[in-house]
Amino acid sequence: MRTPMIELVWLLEIAALAQLSIAVLNLFLARLMGWRDAIILMPLLVREVFHVHAWFVSITLALFAAMTFRFARQMAGGGDPVCQWLAAGIGCFWLIRTILQVTYYSSSHWRGQFGRTVAHVTLLMIYGGFSAAYLWAAFGGGIH
């Protein structure tokens, strides 16, 4: 029989694996999106900031994944204040990212283009799912 805590641990572990995957993919984002020519045309400082930010986003997501893999049970259990704060922080990170997916990016990037619309909605669901799992751990964990 599955308990809500076991399901939450499972969700957190899936989120950790997905974040690790995003961290790796992020390192190849410019190549995957065909941005190499645009990046080369950037002023040197902008290009360097772009690359440093890409690395730091990947490092941050890898750390989120590692911490989640190590402490998923404690996050889900709700009894450890440090793990609750960690889950809340990661949950807020992804909540803000979810909001930005809707409010910041222009719909002109995806509207009317089936593949891009699917990617937009998929990312919205993934980011929202991350947020929901971590915030559940932070504020609703320990449910048995």
Contact 19, 65 (CB under 8 A): yes
- Give the percent of the chain with pLDDT over 70: 95
Sorted by where each begins, the domain ranges of the chain are 4-140
Query: Which amino acid does the sequence have at 58?
Result: S
Mean pLDDT, residues 72-85 taken together: 93
Which tokens go with 96? 């803000």
pLDDT tens digits, residue range 81-138? 999 999 999 999 999 999 999 999 999 988 999 999 999 999 999 999 999 999 999 9
| 144, 3 Cβ separation under 8 angstroms | yes
pLDDT at 6: 86
